[in-house]
């Protein structure tokens, strides 16, 4: 008689005696009805590439069936596949097959208990898998906060999802996130209670509620120092950038954030090191409650001795002489030890700035990519030390390959012609930074993502790749503004990546021929009846494609009349037509940040019955040459963190009055004869500087200054055109007589012109604090606060840089790739406008387009 031996081996016996694997089960802190929920085991990392079957001393069995027990809500087939338990497969017993399957089942945290057994019959077996499902969280809720705050917590902070498993890990993680969120806002005593209830509709489902008591906002009341003899407490507190005690500076942030506090303690030690106290240290610090809403901080420091530099020795330098390096280093025997300044001049550590000149930059800019500088400090007395600066120069690296990835709409050749780093040349970090700025300035790529990938391929060759992320650069603008007593609407489209040479190429119109970085702009303004204007411009930044010489062709036509309704016929009008051609060139001297631009322009003005202007009837013409010298070293076009911008422009006409033989002092001379050919010389000077105020360069100070002057050759022939309108937001959309609109917030449009005929000179000063909210390719936002001042003048004799109308306010800027820059400012004018006796007061301004 043949007997079939049938036996069931439980997982406890199998794992303890054969596989040495333990089932994991623990009692939870949370009670749900009469059921007990179990904590999840530690997550096990399992390599799925490891073979499941491992032949050893065990016997080979074929899996006949896999039976799952205790699973009500999960898909059986998916569970079997994820665990690697498939009917028809084979396994060795003993082996790691069962333990690996259990690890896979533990990983997603679906179960609180897992046991595996087997029914063996000959060389076949049936696997019996006993599982205890965790309760699922059907609904999350938060109480103790407002509806808007609840939404922010659930969507932005916790990112809660329904149907997740209930476990200590999930609950504890979310409680920790809530407390951290409120702690960052100053609510350090925030308490969170958790309520877990059975769902009344679905079995094995629960609802979880976080009851939040944020408590009072806790602020720092006092910061005390102990052990400081060289510096007073007041001076040491000033080294803290983010952690402040109560003071008359009510706007300072007094919240205590752990990360900021730790960074401020590092700044304290940096301050001591920069004053010669190289051994300064913080012995201890304590944070305590003065009352429910006030914290105290006590910091005990050890200053140590003040050190001086005795000798400086250079070791390992062969490319540059000791005299050259010492001169650049600028530290001499007898100087006070200043770690921060020394590291900045060496270009090492956290003081390294690739934009500034240092000894590290000196090597990196001449091919020495892997050069290293290590200063060694040798103490030779209680207050003296020797510096031994060890230099590992290495070999100069040559650029092997320069790659470009990520560009789809912009042609490779257009990008490559903007690169300053080229194959076959020595590696140069300064040229690398210049390339980054140039790529940012093109406007086609995400500025935050332009970071070169530098990969040495040998001890003398290096590959440089530019991974780019394209963004939308074309713009469609719709705007409106109020000017000259009427609302003017404008619409425009700007194509920033046009390719003229592909106009007739098959398949290139998607939706227009693109890839060559050429710019075409078309815009129109109208109030629907008596004002109309149309302008067009085209720019090729690389005329001919060989050199970075730009060519610009532009023109406009405009008309204003007294036909206020469609059925009326105009009996008076002002018409103007202009055509301009310009040529630009990048300069290499004084440095590569300079550009030069020259433009020849012709404008024709026709007037009939136009009694509101100096000229009422006749025609006027302007033939002018404009020269512009510009320097720009800003790191990004929208939110600039560092660098500067300067512009000097001169526009002049021929001095017709010197040779036309007319007596312009004669009051009987008609306007037609006096202004047939307009003459003037126009000067503009503008500058902006950007300074990062924080280590992460998010808080930026912008300082700006500008002035303009419209001069004449003959005092009896002063140009009525090309003047300045001062005040407002510059968004009237209504521009005639060639007037330059100068925005000055806190005042109405044109409120700072001393007469109805605009200004012939002006000045303007701006200070802004900027902070970014979002800097993404699809949208960027920053907020700002500003102080501004400026004024218009009737003549150069009246001009004074100190006569200004002042204002202050706040604003926000939004950049959308499709529409460009948008903004809104609120300004308060502290002074009366011209012709007024009361201060300008509160004003709102709308901004569209980059202004400079």
Distance CA 133, CA 109 (A): 9
DSSP 8-state assignment for residue 756: T
Pairing between β-strand 219-226 and β-strand 294-302 as defined by DSSP bridges = parallel
Phi-psi region of 614 (alpha: psi -120 to 50; beta: other; left: phi over 0): alpha
* Kind and range of the H or E run holding 247: none
Q: Which of 419, 325, 424 is nearest to 371 (CA)?
A: 325
Cα 752 to chain centroid, rounded: 35
Cβ pair 755, 794 in contact under 8 A: yes
Q: In this predicted structure, what is the pLDDT of residue 37?
A: 37
Q: In this predicted structure, what is the pLDDT of residue 427?
A: 96
Distance CA 337, CA 339 (A): 6
Q: Which of 392, 393, 463 is nearest to 427 (CA)?
A: 463
Q: In this predicted structure, what is the pLDDT of residue 20?
A: 35
Cβ pair 371, 347 in contact under 8 A: no
Q: In this predicted structure, what is the pLDDT of residue 13?
A: 35
* Kind and range of the H or E run holding 692: strand 681-692
Mean pLDDT by 10 residues, the chain (852 residues): 38 36 32 33 33 53 89 83 87 84 84 86 89 85 89 84 81 91 89 90 86 92 94 94 83 84 93 94 95 93 95 94 94 93 92 86 94 94 94 95 94 94 94 92 89 94 95 80 64 92 86 93 85 93 91 95 81 94 94 94 94 88 97 88 94 95 91 93 97 87 97 94 90 74 93 92 97 87 96 94 95 85 93 93 82 46
Q: In this predicted structure, what is the pLDDT of residue 5?
A: 36
pTM of structure? 0.70
Q: Which of 127, 119, 7 is nearest to 65 (CA)?
A: 127
Distance CA 669, CA 672 (A): 8
Query: Which residues fall within 8 angstroms of residue 358, CB to CB, at 6 or more apart?
Result: 328, 344, 345, 346, 347, 352
Cβ pair 174, 154 in contact under 8 A: no
Pairing between β-strand 761-775 and β-strand 780-793 as defined by DSSP bridges = antiparallel
Q: Which of 803, 807, 812, 810 is nearest to 847 (CA)?
A: 812
Distance CA 835, CA 833 (A): 6
Q: Which long-range contacts (CB under 8 A, 24 or more apart) does 663-672 make?
A: 664/714, 664/716, 664/717, 665/716, 670/618, 671/614, 671/615, 671/616, 671/617, 671/618, 672/617, 672/618, 672/619
What 3-state class would DSSP assign to 149?
helix
Phi/psi for 233 (5° steps) reads -55, -40
Q: In this predicted structure, what is the pLDDT of residue 156?
A: 81
The residue whose two tokens read 């200063």 is: 375
Cβ pair 730, 709 in contact under 8 A: no
Query: Which residues fall within 8 angstroms of residue 637, CB to CB, at 6 or more apart?
Result: 440, 441, 443, 447, 850
Taking the alpha carbons at both ends of the chain, their separation in whole angstroms is: 102
The token duo for 454 is 């530098």
Distances (CA, A) of 772 to 239, 783, 826: 24, 6, 18
């Amino acid at each position: 008689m043949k007997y079939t031996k049938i036996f069931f081996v439980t997982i406890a016996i199998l794992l303890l005696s054969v596989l040495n694997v333990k089932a994991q089960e623990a009692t939870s802190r949370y009670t749900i009805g009469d059921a007990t929920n179990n904590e999840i085991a530690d997550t096990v990392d399992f390599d799925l590439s490891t073979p499941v079957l491992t032949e050893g001393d065990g016997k080979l069995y074929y899996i006949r069936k896999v039976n799952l027990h205790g699973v009500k809500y999960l898909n059986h087939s998916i569970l079997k596949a994820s665990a690697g338990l498939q009917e028809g497969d084979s396994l060795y017993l003993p082996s790691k097959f069962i333990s690996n399957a259990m690890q896979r089942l533990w990983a997603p945290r679906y179960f609180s208990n897992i046991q595996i057994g087997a029914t063996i019959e000959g060389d076949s077996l049936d696997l019996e898998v006993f599982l205890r499902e965790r309760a699922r969280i059907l609904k999350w809720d938060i109480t103790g906060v407002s509806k808007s705050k609840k939404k922010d917590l659930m969507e932005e902070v916790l990112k809660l999802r329904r149907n997740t498993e209930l476990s200590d890990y999930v609950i504890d993680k979310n409680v920790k996130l809530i407390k951290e969120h409120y702690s960052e806002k100053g609510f350090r005593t925030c308490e969170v209670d958790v309520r877990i209830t059975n769902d009344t509709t679905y079995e094995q489902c629960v609802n979880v509620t976080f009851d939040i008591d944020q408590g009072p906002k806790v602020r720092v009341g006092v910061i005390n120092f102990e052990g400081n003899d060289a510096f007073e407490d007041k001076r040491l507190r000033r080294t803290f950038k983010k952690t402040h005690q109560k003071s008359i500076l009510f706007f300072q942030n007094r919240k205590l954030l752990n990360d900021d506090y730790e960074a401020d303690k590092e700044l304290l030690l940096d301050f001591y090191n920069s004053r010669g106290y190289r051994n300064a240290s913080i012995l201890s610090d304590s944070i305590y409650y003065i009352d429910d809403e006030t914290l105290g901080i006590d910091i005990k420091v050890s200053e140590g001795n003040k050190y001086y530099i005795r000798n400086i020795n250079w070791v390992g330098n062969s490319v540059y002489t000791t005299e050259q390096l010492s001169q650049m280093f600028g530290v001499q025997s007898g100087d006070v030890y200043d770690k921060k300044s020394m590291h900045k001049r060496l270009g090492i550590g956290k003081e390294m700035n690739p934009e500034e000149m240092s000894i590290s930059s000196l090597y990196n800019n001449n091919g020495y990519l892997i050069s290293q500088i290590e200063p060694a400090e040798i103490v030779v007395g209680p207050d003296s030390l020797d510096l031994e600066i060890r230099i590992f120069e290495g070999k100069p690296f040559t650029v092997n390959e320069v790659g470009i990835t990520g560009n789809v709409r912009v042609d490779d050749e257009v990008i490559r012609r903007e690169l300053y780093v080229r194959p076959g040349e020595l590696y140069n970090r300064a040229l690398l930074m210049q390339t980054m700025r140039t790529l940012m300035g093109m406007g086609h790529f995400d500025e935050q993502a332009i970071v070169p990938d530098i990969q040495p391929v040998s001890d003398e060759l290096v590959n440089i790749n530019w991974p780019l992320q394209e963004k939308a650069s074309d713009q469609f603008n719709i705007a409106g503004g109020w000017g000259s007593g009427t609302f003017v609407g404008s619409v425009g489209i700007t194509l920033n990546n046009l390719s003229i040479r592909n106009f007739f190429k098959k398949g290139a119109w998607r939706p227009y021929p693109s890839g060559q970085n050429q710019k075409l702009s078309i815009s129109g303004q109208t109030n629907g009846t008596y004002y109309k204007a149309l302008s067009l411009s085209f720019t090729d930044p690389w005329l001919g494609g060989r050199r970075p010489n730009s060519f610009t062709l532009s023109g406009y036509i405009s008309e204003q009349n007294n036909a206020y309704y469609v059925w009326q016929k105009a009996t008076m009008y002002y018409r103007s037509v202009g055509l301009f051609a310009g040529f630009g060139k990048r300069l290499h001297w004084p440095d590569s940040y300079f550009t030069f631009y020259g433009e020849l322009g012709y404008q024709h003005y026709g007037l009939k019955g136009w009694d509101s202007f100096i000229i009422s009837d006749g025609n006027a013409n302007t033939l002018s040459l404009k020269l512009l010298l510009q320097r720009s070293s800003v790191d990004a076009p929208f939110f600039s963190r560092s660098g500067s911008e300067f512009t000097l422009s001169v526009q002049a006409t021929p001095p017709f009055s010197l040779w036309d033989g007319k007596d312009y002092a004669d009051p009987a001379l008609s306007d037609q004869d006096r202004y047939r050919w307009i003459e003037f010389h126009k000067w503009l000077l503008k500058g902006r500087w950007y300074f990062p105020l924080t280590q992460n360069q998010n808080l930026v100070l912008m300082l700006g200054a500008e002035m303009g002057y419209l001069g004449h050759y003959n005092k009896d022939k002063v140009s009525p055109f090309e003047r300045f309108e001062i005040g407002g937001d510059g968004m009237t959309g209504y521009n005639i007589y060639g007037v330059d609109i100068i925005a000055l917030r806190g005042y109405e449009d044109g409120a700072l012109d001393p007469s109805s005929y605009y200004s012939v000179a002006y000045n303007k000063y701006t200070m802004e604090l900027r902070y970014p909210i979002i800097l993404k390719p699809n949208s960027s936002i920053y907020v700002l606060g500003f102080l501004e001042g400026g004024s218009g003048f009737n003549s150069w004799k009246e001009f004074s840089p100190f006569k200004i109308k002042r204002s202050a306010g706040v604003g926000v800027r939004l950049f959308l790739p499709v529409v460009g820059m948008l903004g809104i400012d609120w300004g308060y004018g502290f002074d009366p406008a011209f012709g007024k006796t009361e201060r300008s007061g509160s004003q709102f301004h709308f901004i569209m387009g980059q202004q400079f």
